[in-house]
Structure 1
């Protein structure tokens, strides 16, 4: 954050619109802990604005950076040095660490294709979530030896409500390439 935002963390904290968000981002973050993802969406919007980067570009970069960190540090035993042959089965527990809402399905669809289906996602996070997920899976595949892999959104559709909040299903296609 300090390399992208003039004034670093103090400028970010001052730009957060509510005391609740300021308290959230003031806590220490540990890879082994679970955090509410929804404030991260708001914080990413603030950072993108401060860095003068469109939110989708920022989210994509954020996803790639997180994937590299996960391979090197947080989920090293699960990901580093492993082939992509069984990546679909290793992604299920990884996804569960980040998102305890909705449902996830990751399946192999041939030797070079993976399908990711994420359901019961709140529609309001999609402008951040879609590019972040594409960046994350792109970065993950690159860090695992498939740098020319492509990740594309295959479908995005509404799927009911949680109270008054519309929910959606997101489907991503990952094509593995060296």
Structure 2
């Protein structure tokens, strides 16, 4: 993750934006002022922490996603005292807010696995690996179908992310 705000030099902001655009930073936190004028393609969601002071600022924040006809999601994390303001935002902006409940552990795990898979998909091949070494690795997997390889890679990922989770470890123990 990275952050941009008005106190950073332009060079640092540019470097942070470059890392975000190329995918090495998955989450970018930005103040309203620093976010103005940002043009990044394929932002799937924006998370607002608190409602802004003005309707225009809300539109500007949420407008980072769903640009040029794309679809996107704007999520606003509210404090209890802000809930009363939602009706005014809906009326003024002609939008409807939907309430989302906190995700359960399985949904979070599945979402994290999808994010991991997308990160792998976007990964550029390492061209410094020797052909000999690459061929040795390919030989290990050559007999697997694409579906079998995906199943094994996903199982490996899930095993790695569940390490140290007592609930998952208990379910693997046999009952003798």
What TM-score range do you get, normalising by the shorter chain? under 0.3
Query: Normalising by structure 2, what TM-score?
Result: 0.27
Larger radius of gyration between Structure 1 and Structure 2: 2
Query: Normalising by structure 1, what TM-score?
Result: 0.27
Query: Which protein has the bigger strand share?
Result: 1
Structure number with the bigger relative contact order (C-alpha 8 A, sep ≥ 6) is: 1
